[in-house]
Amino acid sequence: MPSGLTDTAPIAAAGTTRRRNYARHYWWFVVPCAVVVLATILFPWTFTLYMSVHEWKLGGGHSWVGFANYQKLFTDERFLNAIWRTMYYTVLAVVFPMVLGLLAALAFHRKFPLRGLARTVFILPMMATPVAVALVWTMMFHPQLGVLNWILTSVGLPPSSWVYDADTVIPTLVMVEVWHWTPLVMLILLGGLASLPVDPYEAAKIDGATPFQAFWHITLPLLAPFLVVALVIRTIDALKAFDTIYVITQGGPGTASETINIFLYLQGFAYYNMGYASAVVVVFFIIIIALASLLLWTRARAKAI
């Protein structure tokens, strides 16, 4: 046998031994992490599924009911209305921040005096906590003492009922959401605008393209991945909105602003129907997974383009 082959045998054996030792020690790091993940994610979901098939009163007993909670959900008019309100709120709370955030990003991307100060002032709302924002806006919405109605009457317009009217409560809550989170969309898109190449714009200018044509045919296509990222973040935030709505309206007037999250909270911690609330969690989770899959597919298509 050639000497070169025999000389490499001890080296190969040593390498194999090191890999075995590495694999043996590797599991000491993996197993604790796996246990923590299973304990904090898998167990709560398994227990939620278990509760959803039981009639479970908080502080009381429980009994097996199978899929009765799910059947009740899809015949519960209050829950079906909560789904509609959630989708209505989500669409408005996504579309308006996306449009206004894009306009703000385009404005702040241009150079003008005190641009840095203007950017800082614009992003201040997103620094506040949702509960603090809700408390401030609650005072502003007061029909008699609120500053918003004072402004309306000062310019000759009739006062509004804001969150105290079933017809205006959802748009009013969306207004708070738009004020709070439009700066986040602006920051995402502003970063995208800063990363766009200059060459396409110079070529378009030479070809005589107007600013709108450059925006429509160059800026929007190149900015599409950033728009999708902002869309995903805003959709998830709007779907899980709870604290602002609960602090301002508690789901009222009546049930006019009762979204799925408010309905879930009331069922679990006001009426103590933990089994029924668990079924709501499972259905809501399926809705979120479906929407998230659609948004991720949209993001993949945007990257491919």
Averages of pLDDT over runs of 10 residues in the chain (305 residues) are: 51 59 70 82 89 86 90 93 95 96 94 91 92 95 93 93 94 96 96 91 89 91 90 90 94 93 93 93 91 80 64
**Token pair for residue 259?**
């979204």
The dihedral formed by the CA atoms of 91, 93, 99 and 101, expressed in degrees to the nearest 10: -150
Q: How far apart are CA 69 and CA 13, in angstroms?
A: 61
Quick check: helix, strand or coil at residue 129? Answer: coil
Q: Say what the pLDDT of residue 275 is.
A: 94
* Beta carbons within 10 angstroms of residue 60's beta carbon: 9
Q: Say what the pLDDT of residue 1 is.
A: 46
Q: Say what the pLDDT of residue 162 is.
A: 95
Q: Say what the pLDDT of residue 71 is.
A: 94
Residue with tokens 């097996």: 64
Quick check: helix, strand or coil at residue 51? Answer: helix
Q: Say what the pLDDT of residue 31 is.
A: 82
Q: Say what the pLDDT of residue 16 is.
A: 65
DSSP per residue, 204-273: HHHTT--HHHHIIIIIHHHHHHHHHHHHHHHHHHHHT--HHHHHHHTT-STTTT--HHHHHHHHHHTS-B
